[in-house]
Structure 1
Amino acid sequence: MSTTTRTAEEEWLRFREAREAALAESHGWLTLTSFQWLADAPSGVELVPGLWSETDGTARVTARAAHALTDLTNGRSIDGTVTATLDDEESLSWVASDGPDGRRIVVELARRAGRYVIRTRDAEAPTLTGFTGVPAFEYRPDLVVEGRFEPYDEPVDERIGTAHPEVPGTHRSVGDVVFRLPGEDGDFRLRASQENTGTLAITFHDATNGVSTAPWRKVTVRRPRRDGTVILDFNRTVNYPSAFTPFGTCPAPVDGNVIGAAVEAGEKMPRP
């Protein structure tokens, strides 16, 4: 093993450590325990007390002091009605409940497809307390490949599915990433979105899906160089939260983002 390869693998191991530490956060993705649309009329919901609803674009929760709910936007106990208003695709850690400190369960408010939904995040969820890491393929230096980015004149918004059948999604494609994998004839061309940092994100299917990996995965690519070249490190391919929990609303790949080969790198299907 060359010094360069050894250094790259060491960096990848540090990446894996940081990734698993982020997943193990006390109210992270592994703690989701419900997905519940809010009704028009004040109604009870599962796992937390109070009456919850949405009216005229505003979410509401009504509770008594005895319910021991905390408004996380100001840290105060709820005794009456509190409201919140979000734009579509926004989320808010809104209310906390239960546990010795009253914050074992965090209620996340989100707005999806014009509707309000709450998701409970329980710091004692079995998916978190039983978490021992994400299975991953061994490091593959040959699956760090050079490609090129071909930007569009203007971003293109495309409708996509998500991990939740009632939640449609939109993918904003900013260009194509073109690359070749070792042992494969011809190029692959995948549409990419752009993150706030300028990096490119590629959500894709490949031949390992449903065999050793989740139904789809994502790889992030650093900002393109001046000449448009990019480096795709498939060892850093990760699962979406929906691979760990049925309560995710993660975006599926845009039509055509399929690698017709087995990308045996990055994260595998999570353990049950």
Structure 2
Amino acid sequence: MCDTDSPTVLPTTGTGTTRQDWERFRLNRNAALSDGHGWLSLTSLQWLSAEAAELRLFPGLWSADNGWAADKEGNTDDGAATLWAEPGDGLLFADSQLPASGTLTATLADEESLLWVQHGSTIAELARRGGRYLVRTRDSQSPVLQAFHGVPVFDFRADLVLPGRFEPYPGPRVVNRTTANETVSASTEIVGELVFELDGHDHRLLAEDGGSGALDVTFHDATNHRSTAGWRKLTVPRPSGTAVVLDFNKSMNYPSAFTAFGTCPMPVQGNRLDAPIEAGEKAPDSDDR
């Protein structure tokens, strides 16, 4: 799903039942967010059009043929993005650091991203969201990244490390959802439900396949827009049987909590807890660290 496939997204491992485990998790999480061209380095989001045009904050002329969606036979055309770069623009391919000039093209499937070309401290990330191509600039000197000293968090709560069970579906169910960017809609595959008890009541949250043997749950709770961002994500190790542990101390913000240039998924309908989950990450502008 968009803005969740970054190398800065950290999977939850182990049962997370101790403060020591949680402290290690926090160190790794803050280190991942400190990456020079990670989510905190975003400085713009610009949609590409069919007509070649300049971008803010990055050289070259850019355009995109957005292609078309699947027809009745399942055929698709993902189109392509094109960059015209002069040798004097001083661009390098981000992965190889070799000079990048001439007519350059790239094709992405929907929800894919590519750290494509670099100019100085800035990398142009090509992405495809909602069937359209966009470019996000990632600057290792961005003010947000330079001011980052760790995500504010609640103190460790052993009582919010909750046993539960996973009830898998016979097959994935496709569910539509909205995102942090009102111009981008998306869908996801729900693979089952996580059932657990909180404050004497049973709760259910719809779970996605998070890859690498994990389940992802994106949820609202009663702390949102108060001490926490608008929604958060919890990653749970996928069990071989049905027993799971939901360690809400490892609830994380999506990139859209830190930047206006995220296209992160919002919770699917029904993933709302009436109780306040005062564990895990707070809103980035919270004073408490």
Cα drift, residue 229 of structure 1: 1.0
| Cα deviation code 1:64-107 (max 9, x no counterpart) | 11111112355332332111111111110101002xxxxx1001
Cα pair 2:173 2:189 within 8 Å, conserved:
yes
1:81 pairs with 2:96: no
**Distance (Å, rounded) in 1 between the aligned partners of 2:186 and 2:35:** 26
Show the 5 A alignment for 1:1-272.
Answer: 8-55=18-65, 56=67, 57-72=79-94, 74-98=96-120, 104-181=121-198, 184-226=199-241, 228-271=242-285
Cα drift, residue 118 of structure 1: 0.5
Cα drift, residue 271 of structure 1: 1.9
| Cα deviation code 1:196-255 (max 9, x no counterpart) | 2121110000000000000000111112242x0100000000000000000001100000
Identical amino acids, percent of aligned pairs: 51
Question: What is the number of residues matched between the two proteins?
Answer: 259
**Distance (Å, rounded) in 1 between the aligned partners of 2:146 and 2:224:** 26
Cα drift, residue 54 of structure 1: 0.8
Cα pair 2:108 2:128 within 8 Å, conserved:
yes
**Distance (Å, rounded) in 2 between the aligned partners of 1:30 and 1:96:** 17
Amino acid across the alignment from 1:50: G
| Cα deviation code 1:122-173 (max 9, x no counterpart) | 0000110000111000000000010111111110010100011111111210
User: Which structure 2 segments of 5+ residues have no match?
Assistant: 1-15, 68-78
SS at match of 1:78: coil
Structure with the larger RCO, 1 or 2 (CA within 8 Å, 6+ apart)? 2
Worse-matched range after superposition: 6-15 or 254-263: 6-15
Q: Runs of 4 or more off by more than 3 Å in structure 1?
A: none
**Distance (Å, rounded) in 2 between the aligned partners of 1:45 and 1:7:** 48
Amino acid across the alignment from 1:262: P
SS at match of 2:171: strand
Cα drift, residue 114 of structure 1: 1.2
**Distance (Å, rounded) in 1 between the aligned partners of 2:260 and 2:179:** 12
Cα pair 2:17 2:158 within 8 Å, conserved:
no
Cα pair 2:210 2:235 within 8 Å, conserved:
no
SS at match of 1:142: helix
Cα drift, residue 39 of structure 1: 1.0
RMSD: 1.4
| Cα deviation code 1:14-53 (max 9, x no counterpart) | 1000000000000000000111110101100100011000
> TM-score under structure 2 normalisation?
0.87
